[in-house]
Structure 1
Amino acid sequence: MDGIINVLKPPGMTSFDVVAVLRGLTGVRRIGHAGTLDPMAAGVLPVCIGRAAKAIEFLMEKDKRYRAELTLGITTDTQDTTGTITSSKKPEVSDQQIADAVSAFEGKYLQVPPMHSAVRVDGKRLYELAREGVEIERQQREVEIFSAKLLSIDRSEGVRALIDIHCSKGTYIRTLCSDIGDRLGCGGCMSFLLRMAAGPFEISDSITLEELSALREKGGLHNALIGVDRVFAGLEAYRLDEASEKRFGNGMQIPLSRALLPDTGNEDRSGLKSSVSQDGSLVRVYGSNGDFIALGMVFDDAKGYYLKVRKFFKIPVGNERGHNK
C-alpha cells in the first residue's frame, strides 16, 4: 500500500498517535506524517504510507492554512489554554484595534519558537527542557504570514477573536496569538486551532479515523489513498516511452526531447525551450502506462535540455484514488 491519506486529526491525540493508528489499520510500518499538530489542535494531517513516505520532505515545505481562536487578556507558559496562566488582564480594546493588530502581522516577521515545541537545540527538543523547568534563549526564525484575517469577535465571556491565517512552514500559531496579544498590550493565548489545509490537502477532502476504520472493515481502505503526485500538483508533467522509462529508472539522464507532455501525443519536442525548461526546474515524470515514476529535474549541459531523477517513486496507477496528470 503506497499513497497519502488526508487524515482529519481529532483534538486530544498527538500526531504520532494518528500514525500509530494508521500502522494498525494498514499493517504498513513505513508511515510518517507531514507536519506536527499539537494534541489540542484538529484538522488536516497528511499521512504518507509506503513509498509515498519519500514525499514527506517536500510536503513539509508547503504553506499551511489555519483557523484559530485568540483569547485576549490571558497569557500562559505554553501560549495556549493547555498551559498554566502566567498573567491575566482585562482587555480594553476595540474591534478595530483587534483587526488592525491581526493584519499587522501580514508579511515576513521574526518569530521566537515557544519552549513547548519540537524545535531542537543542541540535540534536545525544547519541550523536553520545558518539562525539566529549564527555559533557554531561542533564536528568532523568519516566517511569513501570507494573510491574516479577523473573522469575528465574541465578548460574551472575555474577548475571543476568531482568525484565519495563511502562513509559511514553521509558523507557530500560538506564538502568533501571543504576539498579537502583546501588540495590543493585554496579552493573549490560543484557545482553539484547526488546520484547514497543508499544501494541496484541504479539510474538505479529509477523512476521520472512524471512517478509515469502517473502510478497513469493508476491505476498501485503498479508496482513501491519494496519489503521491498530488504533492507536486502545479509542476509541469512529462511522460516517457517504455525505453526511456527503463533508462530513467536505472538512473540515466534522458534528453528532454524524448519526454512528452501527457497531452502532446507524439509531437516532436526536439526544439523545446519552454518556460519550465530551465536549469533546475522540477517536473512530474510519468511512465508509459501512466505510473507516477518520479520527481524529475530539468538541466542544461550546453548540449541541450536533459531530465534526471530528483526523487524516485514508481507507484502504480490504481493504487490510489486520484492523481494529477
Structure 2
Amino acid sequence: MNGVIVINKPENYTSFDVVAVVRKLTGQRKIGHTGTLDPNATGVLPILLGNATKAQDIVPNHDKSYTAKFRLGITTDTLDIWGKVISECGKTAAKEEVLQALENFRGEIEQLPPMYSAIKVNGQRLYDLARQGKEIERKPRKVTVYSLELEDFDEESQSGTLSISCSKGTYIRTIIDDLGKMLGMGAVMTELCRTEACGYKLADSITLDNARELAEKGEISGHIMQTESLFESYRKIYVSEAQSKRFSNGGELDMARTALSRSKPEDKEKIRVCDRQGKFLGLGIADNESNQLKIFKLFLS
C-alpha cells in the first residue's frame, strides 16, 4: 500500500503507537508520520505508507492548526495540566484582559522551547533531561502565529479555548504559559486537538477504531489517499508516454516540449509530474538556465 492515511490520534497514544497499529492493520513495513503529537494530545496525524515515506523530509506544507483549552492561575513543570504543580495563584483575569494579552502572540514571535519537548540538545532529548530533574539553557526560536482567536472564556473557572494556526515548531503550551506570565498569574494547557496538519483536516481523518473495523472488512485501502495529495500546493503537468518513460528512468525533460512552455515556472520551482492517465510519477525541479525539468524525487511503486 502506498499513500497517506490520516488518523485522528486518540489520547494516551504516542505517535509511534499509532504507527505500530497502522503497520499491523495494513501489513506495510515502510511506514512513518509527518510530525509528532504529544501522548495527551488528539487530532490529525498523517501516516505515510510505502513510497509516501520518501516525502517525509520534503512535505511542503508544515503549517498546523489547533484547538487548545487552558486554565489561568496555575503553573506546572510541563506547562500543561498533566505535570507537577509548581504554583497556584488566586488572582483572576477578565475576558478583556485575556483578549488584550493575546495581541502579543500573533505574527512572528519568539518562543523558548519547553524542557518537556522532543528537541535534541547535544544529542539528548530535552524531555529526557527534564525527567532527570535537569534544566539546561535553550535558545529562543522564531515561529509564526497566523491566527489566534479566543473562542470562549469563563471568568468564574478562569478557563478558555483558543483556536490557533501556526508554523512548524510552534509550541502551544508555551503560548499559553507566556500568556499566563503576561497576565501575572500563570496558565496551563488542559487539552489539545490538532485540527489540521500538512494540508489535511480532521474531516479527512478516521479513528483507530474505524481503521480496525475497515481492516477487518478488507476496506482500509479505500481510505488511503494518494501520495500526490501531499504536494497539492505544487502545479501539475501531464507528460507523454515517451516523456513519462524518460522521467521515470531519471531523465530530465525539455520544458519547451511540456505544458511549462506556456507558463514558465520560477527557477527551482517544484512541479508534480503525471503521465497521461494521471499516474503520479514524482516531482521535477525547474532549471531555467538549461530549460530542463530535472528530477527532484521519484515516487514510483
Q: In the TM superposition, what are the counterparts of 1:163-178 in structure 2 within 5 Å?
A: 163-178=162-177
Q: Which runs of 5+ in 1 are unaligned?
A: 261-268, 316-325
- Per the TM alignment, residue 52 of structure 1 is displaced from its structure 2 partner at its CA by 0.5
- Per the TM alignment, residue 103 of structure 1 is displaced from its structure 2 partner at its CA by 3.0
User: Quick check: 1:308 aligned with 2:275?
Assistant: no
- Per the TM alignment, residue 61 of structure 1 is displaced from its structure 2 partner at its CA by 4.9
Letter in 2 for 1:297: I
2:141 alignment counterpart: 141
Letter in 2 for 1:292: F
Q: In the TM superposition, what are the counterparts of 1:267-286 in structure 2 within 5 Å?
A: 270=261, 272-274=262-264, 277-286=265-274
1:254-279 CA-partner distances (Å, limit 9, x unpaired): 0112223xxxxxxxx64x343xx121
2:47 alignment counterpart: 47
Letter in 1 for 2:143: V
- With over 3 angstroms needed to count, the CA separation of the structure-2 counterparts of 1:107 and 1:161, relative to structure 1, is same
2:189 alignment counterpart: 190
Q: Distance in 2 between matches of 1:253 and 1:149?
A: 47
- Per the TM alignment, residue 234 of structure 1 is displaced from its structure 2 partner at its CA by 2.5
Q: Post-superposition, which runs of at least 4 consecutive aligned residues in structure 1 deviate over 3 A?
A: none
1:1-20 CA-partner distances (Å, limit 9, x unpaired): 00100100011111110001
Q: TM-score, normalised to structure 1's length?
A: 0.89
Decide whether the 8 Å contact of 1:215 with 1:221 is kept in 2: yes
What is the aligned length? 301
User: Quick check: 1:241 aligned with 2:227?
Assistant: no
Cα-Cα RMSD: 1.4
Letter in 2 for 1:246: K
Letter in 2 for 1:221: I
Q: TM-score, normalised to structure 2's length?
A: 0.96
Q: Which has the bigger relative contact order, CA under 8 A and spacing at least 6?
A: 2
Q: Distance in 1 between matches of 2:288 and 2:199?
A: 30
Letter in 2 for 1:54: K
Letter in 1 for 2:6: N
- Per the TM alignment, residue 115 of structure 1 is displaced from its structure 2 partner at its CA by 0.7
User: Quick check: 1:126 aligned with 2:112?
Assistant: no
Q: Distance in 2 between matches of 1:155 and 1:136?
A: 36
- Per the TM alignment, residue 33 of structure 1 is displaced from its structure 2 partner at its CA by 0.9
Q: Which runs of 5+ in 2 are unaligned?
A: none
2:80 alignment counterpart: 80
For residue 20 of structure 1, give the secondary structure of its aligned residue in structure 2: helix
